[in-house]
Structure 1
């Protein structure tokens, strides 16, 4: 599946059918016993069953093919390799059969436990996986191993999956992890945890983590994931914020089941559909989540929303966030027409080529027509309980490339908003500012012309914003080297341009304030003692 701005809610591109093996299902607390999980953990560490080790074995091209759900190149690379890492990679990420002898060499003494708990099946001495268990690694240092259902559609078309399957790591879950603030917090909530990948990240910088899900199988797998990785997370069953009642958090992260599909009494996929009308699920996640933030806490959501005929989408989302009293920064990363949106999710459900594909397509079109949905916005939403009288709300279209992980830059922007809102014009002028080291100035104009037609200040990192600057703003920003106060720079530029300093200040202060918010200007470490 393509990464539609991190569009797949909950996790991977898909997963295998719900299991009922050996009289036990993965919706109970049993799964693997703690001593078995500890043996697995020790063995994985011993043999280096990690993302880096597998990538080294299969190579970059085969790894890229795996990202396209094609296992053939990796299987060819590992065909004659019977070492522990190759065996585990073939069994789980590649979903290939391995011999019982190879399994016993890779995981000595574990075969019976894996059989008893329905993780594997053995046919004629050939072992195949029924549950996925693969390594995970990320740029922020979160690493370990994650349980989930098997990925469908490897080396072929997507196939229908069970309603309660549990998704693994996907572009969507990785996008949410990348945009999340990674600063120390006292409490965090992973809403709709799925396989538990967000909780692995949160546990690294939150003192206490609560993770919820409506899917019992997801909670069972998340519990196994946490125990396998030695992570302490409070797992609770329930819909939306019901499991946390009136508790408040410093950080809430979620990639909820936001797909806007026609109501159905059966066949609804839990990982992506909540059964509410239109985008009501996302609205509730945002509004109710804002009410459960501690002062200074943030809610970060990966989701989509309906864009209605005759109403600006920004106005509609403003209506969601403004009553919360929170600061808000919403980025629309992508816009889809209804047909493209419908086709993506019908394919995700494995319905392409099925007898009822056309009727399902028609029903979805009728549903969107009734709701007046002319397109779908997909993107990132962050709300912060800043407790200010006038919340800072920014809603913007931002389909441009950003630096990943974007979380650090987004956290810095949250701080900059607080600073820019706190400083009066006089205080802004009395401070020393410094152009961020990643900002470059570009000029556009015809060759040989003395003056450029346009001056652009462009970030190379973070959100990679480009700001068109007039001569005055470019002169002021270019002189911000951290040594002079802003009022001194304004006065110098005014003198050079033969303008009144107050007029220059009035012209650039609003723009300078926005440069601070966007991270192009930063406070200098040299400041007068107040």
Structure 2
């Protein structure tokens, strides 16, 4: 493992200067979308930086300079950085600990594309067309050649240009982030540790991850109702806490990693956001407190001690507990830190024994963790991997492509042997949403629902809120349901047959699911216009099909509850 650089300085004056400059430089997601093509932006999300380096070659706009330096990991001259950040300056960047001066040799080894000596352009939002042709067309980029000058041999040689304008390299990843939330849109800038794609080196043990795919999933599915208090458990770089601060009056962010806490504090200051950051394990820093909303993207990767001993413990993904017990610990402890009606939303991995079907029996382990807790729960397994694929994915995630072949082979086999010894047949990956019951609700026990691989759209906050609320739906037969306006039905017939062989309900919005249903369920959904109760509709279906009412009810009850949870039907 590599050694981390010191955390950025929490110098609020210099941080304010940095904020002023990135705003003035219009270094935003909108500007990046103008600078880079859609394919190149998609490549960046996959940590592929070379297409962006090609498109930004020779572009001297401040936003392009900052993108090359902080996101793409390319050296820049101090003068270019001072031009992009005139209030802070290159010296301010160095004082904050975000950048360091390097020599010509290191700069030469780090440069991927040749650097043109172009003059800075206007700070207005650039476009790829302007970047390729110049502000006034192709001719504007040409400069008249200069004649060589003669120097008196007795004169003192001028100081090296390098001393006045050294090369610098970024010590952290800093990039813009756009948040579209119910309360309005936000432009933020988020600092995290540089990844192996930028440094070419394996990650340090205390590496603090930036905004990845899992982070974005949790951000999208978090309920954004206004609350008094919210907790980001395992805050990392602090992006979840920044979102929480837009709709919570008080936000606490905790992490076992001192480095993560420092970066969260820095990002809070950079984005002028008040976050109470506390260092400690899981709920220890908030003992005795209760929150209306808790979100967590915890270090859930199931890592054996044998791998930790040789490769080290990556704090951002490995909580140090045995097997999947970190997830169990969070779920078992969370209700004590939730106010009545409060919600926990978290991403998770769990082991599935080899003796169980990973598609139909995956939920038993999670269900045992939730047994007896005063909560309603919605648990979704969005994917399942066999142990070999799981091991390969996480080794590559931490720079496996940079490992020597022998080291990769040892780590892989050691990890796989551990899963075999534990009897693990598969690993489920998904999310858990809990709602803390009040005293009256808890007396009757919690309600739990498990869904496998939600096809269609990833759940959004409102989908999660509805799913949890639907677990407390009124008594089904006395309830008048209303079919969502975007629900459509697809019918498949055997040629010449008057009756459909297959019925599929499609949902245009919401979760965007497609669900096969029976003819009885289809009839109930079709008649659910908010006027008749489900019991009345079921009786009518029984009469029309010459089937006993109780048989119709038995056939439609479970599917209707699923359709309610998924938003096909409302009440």
The normalised TM-score by structure 2 is: 0.81
Contact 2:377 2:468 in 1 (8 A): no
Question: Which residue of structure 1 lines up, in the alignment, with residue 4 of structure 2?
Answer: 18
Change (3 A) 1:275 1:485: closer
Change (3 A) 1:314 1:490: closer
Question: Which residue of structure 2 lines up, in the alignment, with residue 7 of structure 1?
Answer: none
Q: Which sits farther off after the overlay, 498-507 or 455-464? A: 498-507
CA distance in 1, matches of 2:410, 2:532: 68
Q: 2:516 aligns with which of 468, 472, 477?
A: 468
Deviation at 1:55, TM superposition (A): 1.7
Deviation at 1:335, TM superposition (A): 1.2
Contact 1:142 1:201 in 2 (8 A): no
Deviation at 1:183, TM superposition (A): 1.2
Q: Which sits farther off after the overlay, 268-277 or 234-243? A: 268-277
SS at match of 1:31: coil
Contact 1:142 1:204 in 2 (8 A): no
Contact 1:416 1:519 in 2 (8 A): no
Q: Which sits farther off after the overlay, 374-383 or 466-475? A: 466-475
Q: Show structure 1 runs of 5+ residues with no match.
A: 1-14, 20-24, 524-530
Question: Which residue of structure 2 lines up, in the alignment, with residue 10 of structure 1?
Answer: none
Question: Which residue of structure 1 lines up, in the alignment, with residue 115 of structure 2?
Answer: none
Question: Which residue of structure 2 lines up, in the alignment, with residue 195 of structure 1?
Answer: 237
Q: 1:386 aligns with which of 437, 445, 464?
A: 437
Question: Which residue of structure 2 lines up, in the alignment, with residue 309 of structure 1?
Answer: 354
SS at match of 1:457: strand
CA distance in 2, matches of 1:80, 1:52: 20
Instruction: Provide Cα deviations, 1:21-61, integer angstroms capped at 9, x if missing partner.
Output: xxxx31xxx71411112122222222211112112111112
Question: Which residue of structure 1 lines up, in the alignment, with residue 213 of structure 2?
Answer: 171
Calculate the aligned-residue CA RMSD, in Å.
Answer: 2.4
Contact 1:159 1:349 in 2 (8 A): no
Question: Which residue of structure 2 lines up, in the alignment, with residue 104 of structure 1?
Answer: 82
Tell me whether 1:122 sits opposite 2:101 in the alignment: yes
Structural mapping, 1:232-247, within 5 Å: 232-247=274-289
Change (3 A) 1:340 1:242: same
Name the structure, 1 or 2, with higher relative contact order (CA <8 Å, separation 6+).
1
Instruction: Provide Cα deviations, 1:257-279, integer angstroms capped at 9, x if missing partner.
Output: 11121223572111111221101
Change (3 A) 1:322 1:242: same
SS at match of 1:410: helix
Deviation at 1:440, TM superposition (A): 0.9
Instruction: Provide Cα deviations, 1:258-303, integer angstroms capped at 9, x if missing partner.
Output: 1121223572111111221101111101111133211111111112
Contact 1:291 1:324 in 2 (8 A): no
CA distance in 2, matches of 1:191, 1:442: 43
Larger Rg: 2
Instruction: Provide Cα deviations, 1:181-204, integer angstroms capped at 9, x if missing partner.
Output: 111111111011010010111111
Deviation at 1:92, TM superposition (A): 0.9
Change (3 A) 1:358 1:469: closer
Question: Which residue of structure 2 lines up, in the alignment, with residue 321 of structure 1?
Answer: 370
Contact 2:457 2:512 in 1 (8 A): yes
How many residue pairs get matched?
492
SS at match of 1:356: helix
Contact 1:166 1:217 in 2 (8 A): yes
Instruction: Provide Cα deviations, 1:236-266, integer angstroms capped at 9, x if missing partner.
Output: 0001111111211111111111112122357
Deviation at 1:219, TM superposition (A): 0.9
Contact 2:195 2:203 in 1 (8 A): no
Contact 2:478 2:535 in 1 (8 A): no
Contact 1:351 1:357 in 2 (8 A): yes
Question: Which residue of structure 2 lines up, in the alignment, with residue 347 of structure 1?
Answer: 396
Q: Which sits farther off after the overlay, 327-336 or 343-352? A: 343-352
CA distance in 2, matches of 1:414, 1:84: 46
Instruction: Provide Cα deviations, 1:39-86, integer angstroms capped at 9, x if missing partner.
Output: 222222222111121121111122122223222221222222211111
Deviation at 1:408, TM superposition (A): 1.6
Change (3 A) 1:323 1:57: same
Structural mapping, 1:124-523, within 5 Å: 124=162, 125-140=166-181, 141-154=185-198, 159-263=201-305, 264=308, 267-311=312-356, 312-352=361-401, 353-354=403-404, 355-387=406-438, 388=441, 389-398=444-453, 400-404=454-458, 406-418=460-472, 420=473, 423-425=474-476, 427-428=478-479, 431=480, 433-486=481-534, 489-490=537-538, 492-493=540-541, 496-497=544-545, 508-509=556-557, 511-523=559-571
Q: Which sits farther off after the overlay, 224-233 or 483-492? A: 483-492
SS at match of 1:161: coil
SS at match of 1:481: coil
CA distance in 1, matches of 2:546, 2:452: 38
SS at match of 1:44: helix
Contact 2:455 2:513 in 1 (8 A): no
Change (3 A) 1:494 1:346: closer
SS at match of 2:363: helix
SS at match of 1:482: coil
Contact 2:476 2:534 in 1 (8 A): no
Contact 1:436 1:521 in 2 (8 A): yes
